[in-house]
Amino acid sequence: MGVFYKNFVKPLIFRLDPEKAHEVAVDALSLLSHMPFVPKLMANLNQLGNDYAPVEICGIDFPNRVGLAAGFDKNAVCWPAFEALGFGHVEIGTVTLLAQPGNPKPRMFRYPEHQAILNRMGFNNDGAEAVAQRLSRTLSKMDRRIPLGVNIGKSKAAPLDEAVEDYKGSFQLLADFADYVVINVSSPNTPDLRKLQEETRLRELLSTLVSLNLERDQQPGQSRKPIFLKVAPDLSLEQLDAIIATLLELNLDGIIATNTTMAREGPFENIDEPGGISGKPVDAMSTEIIAHAAKTTSGNLPIIGVGGITDPDSAKRKIDAGASLVQIYSGMIFEGPFLGKRIAKALV
């Protein structure tokens, strides 16, 4: 399958502008998601099956260790297709409270020679209300085996001082539909977002969301959801230690490491295109963050490892560093939609 993608599909897709290619892929996968029988049939062929023990993290059963990272299905329109392709979970979003168009185009660039993507999308999405309605419709009709993560971020229009209220609104609208919720404070393309990784602001944000989450246990038909924090690869180890201390103090459920990097190293030194880089250049950085987080918490804080996974070996390095699950995005652009299944098999 990988050979077919590389020889026939990829040359066609790579002729298109990267964002256009992404839209075509999302449309095709959305079509697949809505077909009768076909997704279930494909899932039966591509999921690993009951001979492979599922992985349990935070009380959730994941049929395998490989998920789709946030940013591919921002609006929750095609995520069921990923179960059909053999993925073990999907994270939709980032969703913001307010619908927003994102940054001006072009805002996504490929660097195939470095297996890298640069993007400055800026959280283009339909907004929490619309995504909640879409999820409500899809989930009521679906019999699914893979967990769904919902990744939320700050609306561009919300000033930093109103960020807590903004995240709160998204959490209230979307938590019902999520198996786990991700608080994204690490995308480089929303001004000031990464400031929410600083200790005081982070504690204020997370403690509010944790209280809100605990209140869910008192509401009929609701329950608390595991909450993960998604961090940047550009943190110093001291900054990471401070974040981990806050997560442990507030009993957060886990960490997702990492988002895209702002660093411009090696072949990217002279590229002054603004945005976050993903794919190969972020691989070692994110593995280092995972290893440090696993060591500091003695393996007691679940970690989802993401950044630069392009093959089974790069995924194994993240698992060896301490990740329980991994996610992919850029690797799939270069290697094709069955990369998730290939890695999941290799990780058993």
Q: Binding of ligand FMN at residue 282 (CB under 6 A)?
A: yes
- Distance between CA atoms of residues 63 and 145, nearest Å: 7
Length of the chain: 348
Catalytic residue among 33, 155, 187, 330: 187
Q: Binding of ligand FMN at residue 306 (CB under 6 A)?
A: yes
Contact pattern for ligand FMN over residues 200 through 239, marking x by CB under 6 A: ------------------------------x---------
Residue found under tokens 């393309």: 189
Instruction: Tell how strand 303-306 and strand 60-62 pair up.
Output: unpaired
Stretch that binds ligand FMN, among 69-77, 137-145, 191-199, 214-222 (CB under 6 A): 69-77
Q: Binding of ligand FMN at residue 75 (CB under 6 A)?
A: no
- Distance between CA atoms of residues 119 and 113, nearest Å: 16
Q: Binding of ligand FMN at residue 71 (CB under 6 A)?
A: yes
Give least dist CB 13 to ligand FMN, A. 14
Q: Binding of ligand FMN at residue 74 (CB under 6 A)?
A: yes
Please say which residue, 83 or 335, places its beta carbon nearer to ligand FMN: 335
Give the binding-site size for ligand FMN (rule: CB under 6 A): 28
Contact pattern for ligand FMN over residues 77 through 106, marking x by CB under 6 A: ----------------xx------------
Please say which residue, 35 or 288, places its beta carbon nearer to ligand FMN: 288
Stretch that binds ligand FMN, among 5-13, 164-172, 277-285, 291-299 (CB under 6 A): 277-285
**Token duo for residue 48:** 């690993």
Give least dist CB 45 to ligand FMN, A. 24
Chain residues 144-183 in contact with ligand FMN, contact rule CB under 6 A: 151
Please say which residue, 46 or 259, places its beta carbon nearer to ligand FMN: 259
Q: Binding of ligand FMN at residue 127 (CB under 6 A)?
A: no
Contact 76, 138 (CB under 8 A): yes
Residue found under tokens 């993290």: 57
Q: Binding of ligand FMN at residue 196 (CB under 6 A)?
A: no
Instruction: Tell how strand 227-231 and strand 180-184 pair up.
Output: parallel
Neighbour-count burial of 319, counting CB atoms closer than 10 A to its CB (0-12 exposed, 13-18 middle, 19+ buried)? middle
Report how far apart, in Å, the C-alpha atoms of 186 and of each of 81, 197, 225, 293 are. 27, 7, 21, 16
Is 170 an annotated catalytic residue?
no
Q: Binding of ligand FMN at residue 309 (CB under 6 A)?
A: yes
Contact 307, 69 (CB under 8 A): no
Q: Binding of ligand FMN at residue 339 (CB under 6 A)?
A: no
Please say which residue, 62 or 329, places its beta carbon nearer to ligand FMN: 329
**Token duo for residue 199:** 């200790």
Report how far apart, in Å, the C-alpha atoms of 343 and of each of 94, 229, 338 are. 24, 24, 9
- Distance between CA atoms of residues 325 and 305, nearest Å: 6
- Distance between CA atoms of residues 273 and 291, nearest Å: 30
Residue found under tokens 């959280």: 123
Select the residue whose beta carbon is closest to ligand FMN and give its number. 71
Q: Which of 246, 297, 324, 330 binds ligand FMN (CB under 6 A)?
A: 330
Contact 330, 306 (CB under 8 A): no
- Distance between CA atoms of residues 328 and 257, nearest Å: 12
Query: Helix, strand, or coil here: 285?
Result: helix
Report how far apart, in Å, the C-alpha atoms of 188 and of each of 168, 230, 291 are. 21, 12, 22
Stretch that binds ligand FMN, among 49-57, 158-166, 171-179, 327-335 (CB under 6 A): 327-335
Please say which residue, 40 or 264, places its beta carbon nearer to ligand FMN: 264
Catalytic residues: 187
Q: Which residues bind to ligand FMN, rule: CB under 6 A?
A: 69-71, 74, 93-94, 108, 117, 119, 121, 123, 151, 184, 187, 230, 259-260, 278-279, 282, 306-309, 328-331
